Every structure is written in C-alpha cells, then in structure tokens.
Amino acid sequence: MCGIVGIFSHDEVAAELYDSLIHLQHRGQDAAGILTCDSRFHPKHGLGLVREAFSPKEMDILKGHMGIAHVRYPTAGGYSEADIQPLWLGSPRGIALAHNGNLVNYDQLSTTIRHEQHRHLNSTLDSEALLLLLADNLATGSYRDHDEDMFFEQLTHAVKNIYTTVEGSYSVVSVVIGKGLVAFRDPHGIRPLVWGERLREDGTKDYIFASETTPFYALGFEPKGDIAPGEVAYVNQAGKLYRQVVETKAFSPCVFEYVYFARPDATLDGVSVYRARLRMGQNLAKQWKEKYPELQPDVVIPAPFTANTAALSFAHELGVRYSEGLYKNPFIGRTFIMPNQRTRSRHVRYKLTPQRTEIENKKVMIVDDSIVRGTTSREIVKMVREFGAKAVYFASSAPPIKHPCFYGIDMPSCHELIAAVKSHEEICEFLGVDYLLYQSREDLVEAITRRGQHQIKKPCMACMDGDYVCGNLTKERIAFLEKQRERDKGQT
C-alpha cells in the first residue's frame, strides 16, 4: 500500500505535489519521491517522512507544470533509495511512473525482462516492470507528435497490453515528456484512484489524480469521481482531458481501504469512508447485543485513531459512554505499517498512554478496526488492565483475517496472522480479553455498500475469505509467494 498523486497545472506544480504527499502521509512512512517535468525530468527522492525527505532548497529545483509523487509503505522491494518511486527512464521517449499496488506475477515478468529481453532492472520494485512495459508498448506506435488523438489511441493500446500481461493490483500515475500526464487503474479496480479538477479564472482547468480525495480541498480541486476499473485518463500539454475505459472485470475494490487505510474524510468509489466506518460500528454493536445481551460495558474506548469513528457509533448503538481513554501521540507513525514485529510492539507503548480516570474500576470495551497479527491489540489490552480495568471486552470492525494479501497490504504470510493459526478461545487468551467479537463478513460488506453512488457488489476480501480475484493464486502459487516473501524479509 502506498499513496500516489499526479497533477497537471498551469503553474509550477512541485509545492502542490509536496502538499498532496503530506495529506497522503498516512499511506506510507518509509520513503517519499517527487518528479516534475518540463523539457526534462526533475526527480527528488528521500527516505523517511515527507518533511524529512525534501528541503526547501531541493524543492526549488523541481521545475515544471506537471508531475507525479509517491509515499511508500513497502510490501515488496528493498529499503534503499534505489527502491523509491517515482521511477523514470529516458528512452524511448522519456517516461516516469508511480504505482500503488502489487503485481502477483512480478517474478515471471522480471524473468522475461532479464533473461529473454536481456535488460537490466535497477531496483527490486515491481513498479519498474510496469514502467518498462508501458515504455515498450508506447515505443511500438507510429503516432505523430502533433496528433494528440492518435497518441491517446496508442496509449490505450499500450495500457490494454499491460492489462493482458500483468496480474495483480495497480493504480498508476505517469508523465510522458512532450506529451502529458497519464493515469490508469487495473481492470478489477482493487487499488483506489480518484480525480478532480480546478477551474481557473481564465476558464482553463488543472487536474489531479490521487489515491484519495484527501488533498483536494486544501489545493482547491473539486472531486469529480473515480478513475473507473480498466480506465485510462490522459491530460495533454494544452490541458485537454481524454478518458476511456479499455477493459473491465469484476469490480473488487479493497475492503481494507474502508476498514483501516484510507483517511476517514476520503470518498472512494462513491462511498464515504467516514460513513462506512460509522455503519461498521453500528452493525458490530447490534451483533454484540444479540450475542452478549447480558454484557454491558461501562465505557467504549477506541484504539486510536482509525477505530474512533466505529467506536463512536458502537457506543451510541449500545447507549454507553464513549471515551478516548487512550491518548495517542500524533508524532509516532502507524504501527501496522512499521517494518517488523519488534518495532510495532515497542511503538505501541510509545504512542499510546491510558487515562486512568476513564479506565479504572470499569468494564471497558475496546473497539479496533482489525486484528491482524495481534501485536497492537495485546499491548493495548495489557495497558488497559494495568490501569485498573475491572473487565476488558474487545470488538473488531473487521472479520478474522486468515489469508495473506497479494494486492498491496502488508499481510505477507498466514503464519503471521493470528486468526489463521489460533482458535477464537486461543486468541482471547493471547490478547488477554474476557470476551472477543469479530464483525461478520456480511455485515462488513453491508456497512460499505449501504449508501453511496457506487457500483460495488462485493469488495475484495481475500485476506478474510481467501477469494483472490486475480492472479491465478492456487495453493501451490500462494505457498511459493509466501516463502519468497519470508526469504526477502529475512534479507532486509
């Protein structure tokens, strides 16, 4: 999971790309990159948070009226500066690309690139394979530079070839020197990609494509909707927008975007993330009342901040007081996207401080967005117990997560997923809770799809139900990918 943004503007664009990354920082804390374009590329990459990766002096050299940017949360690839996006190459035309997602068949693509095409890969990123495929497919065209309609036709053919070659999830922003800004999304629409426009006083328009709508308001862009699954969008140098759906398959946006990853003020695929999380809490509370009618907590406390919204509606549905009984230090990052288990455990106590007045001698209900490895949940329960809770209940807005994700979420192996290796009773004992409730899959889907102008019938829930929407993920293939990820993880 990462955050991407591409902007076409009639003014210099570097500062707005930087501001966009600040609004997308929750999607990746490991590294950040910005690339702008005029008659050449101007790239700048850095490890760490956005504010650490770029200095004011470095921003001054990022010239151009269009560009792309990326914040990284690695699920594949290494941790060096060579593995920071955007990536670019100068031949055959000059193309740069930033990608959010994960290519399931990257090992096959990289083998073809290295051994059959005899080309060198400069990074360990699957995004580099996408870049090379796009460049190669555009290089085969016979379009004339001045014929924009012909170029867009060639671009749609190039992306269609990617759709037939690449398996997995990918939302992409790209710039082509001398042509314009490009955005496209995989045919299943697994990873999000939204767009907006900004009307200028002279009647011209600027355009933005991003993982979420979160940067739009601050930059003055009006949200216009989503790039559809299998759609290609292109803004030429004159500011003309082209759009075409090239190929579509079963629409399966990632459920974890709504549960955890997206910021609550985002709207993705026509669904308000905030409202979806309110409904998750409401459905979860109804299920609690049905299953445990005799158990009424004294207070409902969220695991901040992602679970705050669901906990609020959970408490309202039960008629119980809601309290932010765990104070979160906002200067410590999201533990789920930290690189290893040891780091996550250490940072839970660094970032959370219990409030004794809200906990002591009370039956405490903790609501969290999900239980993945169990690390964070266990530490939270320990802290609540240490501050004198009389009883501790725990409710998860998401169903049990039992399967690895191969589409961009850091769930690399079922061996790391607590629900895959322990029974319900064993999980209760491991977490140290008196009672535990998971959201049902049906209630989660209902919460996401109840409202909104959307076309979602069933989101991708492969991490919960094992139904992988693409990539021919047989048991043998899954076992191979799990071993590969564990080996790569041991080398970092």
Catalytic residues: 2
Quote the CA–CA distance of 348 and 336 in Å, as a whole number: 10
DSSP string covering 238-271:
T--EEEEE--------BHHIIIIIS-TT-EETTE
The full set of domain ranges for the chain reads 3-249, 272-466
Give the C-alpha distances (Å, rounded to integers) separating 154 from 148, 150, 180: 10, 6, 14
Mean pLDDT of the chain: 92
> So what's the pLDDT on residue 149?
87
Mean pLDDT of the region 238-267: 96
Token readout for 192 is 């999000």
Q: How far apart are CA 333 and CA 343, in angstroms?
A: 11
Q: Which amino acid is at 64?
A: G
Q: Give the model's confidence band at 244: pLDDT under 50 very low, under 70 low, under 90 confident, else very high.
A: very high
Please state, in angstroms and rounded to a whole number, the distance separating the CA atoms of residues 257 and 363. Answer: 31
| Torsion angles phi and psi, residue 69, rounded to 5 | -150, 165
CATH class for the region spanning 3-249: alpha beta
Give the pLDDT mean for 281-305.
Answer: 97
Q: Which fold has domain 272-466?
A: Rossmann fold (3.40.50)
pLDDT at 329 over 90: no
Q: Out of 137-151, 193-207, 338-352, pick the least confident.
A: 338-352
Query: What is the per-residue pLDDT for 334?
Result: 55
Torsion over CA: 291, 400, 273, 320 (sign): positive
Q: Is the pLDDT of residue 79 over 70?
A: no
- Say if 3-249 and 272-466 have the same CATH topology: no
The β-bridge relationship of strands 299-302 and 363-368 is: parallel
- Per-residue pLDDT band for 145 (boundaries 50, 70, 90) equals low
What's the CA gap between 169 and 182, in Å, rounded?
A: 17
- Cα 73 to Cα 25: distance, rounded to the nearest angstrom: 10
Whole-angstrom distance, CA of residue 438 vs CA of residue 431: 14
Tokens of 43: 């790239």
Cis omega (within 30 of 0) for bond into 412? no
pLDDT tens figures, 378-418: 999 999 999 999 999 999 999 999 999 999 998 878 999 99
Dist CA 89 CA 77 (whole Å): 19
